[in-house]
Amino acid sequence: MNYRKNKFLKESFLNLFLSKLFRLNWVIVFCVFLLCLIGVAFLYSAAGGQWNPWAKSHLYRSIIGIGLMLLIALLPPKFYSNFSISCFIIGLLSLLFVKFFGQGSVQRWISFGGFNLQPSEPIKLALILVLAKYFHNISKVDLQKTSTFLLPIIFILLPGIFVITQPDLGTGLAIILLGIAILFYIGIPLKIVFLSFIVVISCVPIIWSQLYEYQKNRILVFLNPQSDSLGSGYQIIQSKIAIGSGGLFGKGYLLGSQSRLNYLPEKHTDFVFTLISEEMGFLGSLILIFIFCFLITLIMRICFIVDTVFAKIVVFGVGFLIFLYVALNIGMVCGLLPVVGAPLPLISHGGTSLFTVLIGIGLVLSMSVHNKEYD
């Protein structure tokens, strides 16, 4: 009797597992896999045709991360809702910890057991989850009340301010922008938007006075890169040269002269898109942008499929986060935005940002697979 019961339970579990696998959006999984492979290929090129030090580690991290993404997709949304507040609190404590005990020239990293963690990356997912949980329990009538948005604004400002004081102005503003986008998606009253706009404009002189000198230089150099062509403006000038030299079809894989001669700094992290543009040209860059746009569109489309407010906010938040990463990175390397620490998702070398994006996509897949299973 026990044998039959155990056999039945095993078969039921297997059927449930397989049914969830079949319900996965495998087109999204394929796009993720493709972008990770592109990352491995161009990190190999960035190292001059060597697997070390970047391509091999990116490959291993991608395999582990995609496995984790699929595992996350199989767990129900209620699981993530239950732990959303705990994750947010842990994220805030990590940001406080890194402020006083962080590693690096600027305090952004926590080192343990040979691993480096940048808390400012996973806090973005924690913010999405905690806002999703909060608004899931808010009625449409309460959404018209100003008091409803006071707590979410605090949720957004706390990690944003903590990150800005590391100091990491770009990432801090990105966190705040992510939170604001979610508030707009929910339907924040226009009077709050108007008042917030006035407050921000009024505080610009104060904010400017509190910026570090290198942060002010980045903004000034963005406006006129030639003002410090061998200093703060060097990266963006070399980036533009490399992108322009790629032409329509590029110089060819492993043949980028700007990267080969080390004129291009950080070609394996924030400026990897420049390397791709130089070697693959305008058409190659356009194809890469199309893949990102296709992935973001697939994610945003799920917003119209899922039924719960929690799932809709999580899916929108992750989709907007990926869009934000891509827009900031490409805008930065093309000289359209000031230089900030914005990696190209799934392609730039960096474990924390890679796992953050893959976990985020895992959450999106979970909302899709377990639609209508929140309550």
Q: What is the mean pLDDT of residues 210-236?
A: 72
**pLDDT surpassing 90 at residue 80:** yes
Q: What is the mean pLDDT of residues 73-85?
A: 92
Q: Which 3 state secondary structure label does DSSP give 231?
A: coil
Is residue 4, in this structure, part of any structural domain at all?
no
Q: Which of 80-84, 226-230, 241-245, 326-330 has the lowest mean pLDDT?
A: 226-230
Is residue 170, in this structure, part of any structural domain at all?
yes
**pLDDT surpassing 50 at residue 230:** yes
Is residue 308, in this structure, part of any structural domain at all?
yes
Q: What is the mean pLDDT of residues 189-215?
A: 76
**pLDDT surpassing 90 at residue 327:** yes
For residue 157, give the amino acid letter. Answer: L
Alpha-carbon torsion angle 311, 314, 317, 322, nearest 10: -110
Is residue 28, in this structure, part of any structural domain at all?
no
**Measured in whole angstroms, how far is the alpha carbon of residue 258 from the centre of its chain?**
27
The 10s digit of each residue's pLDDT in 12-50 is 656 666 777 788 899 999 999 999 999 999 999 988 889
Look up residue 240 and give its two tokens: 């533009």
In this predicted structure, what is the pLDDT of residue 319? 97
**pLDDT surpassing 70 at residue 313:** yes
Taken in order 200, 191, 181, 222, is the CA torsion positive or negative? negative
- Say how many domains are in the chain: 1
Q: Are 236 and 219 in contact (CB under 8 A)?
A: no
**pLDDT surpassing 50 at residue 285:** yes
For residue 219, give the amino acid letter. Answer: I
- Whether cis (ω within 30° of 0) applies to the bond prior to 167 is yes
The 10s digit of each residue's pLDDT in 347-375 is 999 889 999 999 999 999 999 998 866 55
Is residue 204, in this structure, part of any structural domain at all?
yes
Region of residue 264 (left: phi > 0; alpha: psi -120 to 50; beta: else)? beta
Computed over every residue of the chain, the mean pLDDT equals: 85
- What range does the domain containing 92 cover? 39-369
Is residue 67, in this structure, part of any structural domain at all?
yes
Is residue 141, in this structure, part of any structural domain at all?
yes
Is residue 222, in this structure, part of any structural domain at all?
yes
